[in-house]
Structure formats: structure tokens, C-alpha cells
């Protein structure tokens, strides 16, 4: 069990630490707001290609209209299914 003298100092130390951290956080945010807000337009520009590359499976890139002509048959797919791929 901890002696009574160390447990007495525990609560005031925590209050001072919390107060110091709150003041430090306040001044860091207020003094560096210009730096963080100045980089936001560049972050938006960087997000566009990132979203394009990371979300490649979602969206409407798969089904394009070819004007009524069916897509060409893949010869490798035909070979896997047992046909020669040649139409007679």
C-alpha cells in the first residue's frame, strides 16, 4: 500500500498536468492554424487521384455501350471451356 504522503500529491499533480496540456493544446492550435489551413487546398487536390485509384472497382467504368456489337470473344476463355475457339 502506498504511503499517505504520495497519494495526497497524486490528485493535484493530475490537475496541474491536465491544465498544462489544455493550455499547450490551445496555443498550438491557435498559433499553427494558418499552417494547417494553408495546406487544405493541396490535400483536396491530392485526394482526387487517390480516390480515383483506390476506388477503381466502384462506379460506372465496367459497362460501356459498344453500339450494338457484342464484345470480341476471348480465345483463352474458349480454350478453358473445351472449345477450339474457331467458329464453323
Question: Which pLDDT belongs to residue 53?
Answer: 81
Q: Is the pTM of this model over 0.75?
A: no
Residue-wise pLDDT for 69-86, tens only, equals 666 676 666 666 665 555
The pLDDT assigned to 70 comes to: 61
Q: Is the pLDDT of residue 44 over 80?
A: yes
Going by C-beta distance under 8 Å and a sequence separation of 6 or more, which residues neighbour residue 79? 85
In this structure, are residues 85 and 78 in contact, taking their beta carbons and an 8 Å threshold? yes
Cβ atoms 78, 84 nearer than 8 A: yes
Percent above pLDDT 70 for the chain:
55
Segment 17-40, tens digit of pLDDT: 999 999 999 999 899 888 878 888
Amino acid at each position: 500500500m502506498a504511503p499517505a504522503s504520495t497519494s495526497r500529491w497524486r490528485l493535484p499533480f493530475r490537475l496541474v498536468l491536465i491544465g498544462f496540456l489544455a493550455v499547450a493544446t490551445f496555443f498550438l492550435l491557435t498559433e499553427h492554424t494558418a499552417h494547417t489551413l494553408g495546406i487544405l487546398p493541396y490535400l483536396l487536390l491530392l485526394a482526387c487521384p487517390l480516390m480515383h485509384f483506390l476506388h477503381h472497382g466502384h462506379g460506372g467504368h465496367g459497362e460501356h455501350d459498344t453500339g450494338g456489337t457484342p464484345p470480341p470473344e476471348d480465345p483463352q476463355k474458349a480454350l478453358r471451356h473445351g472449345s477450339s475457339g474457331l467458329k464453323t
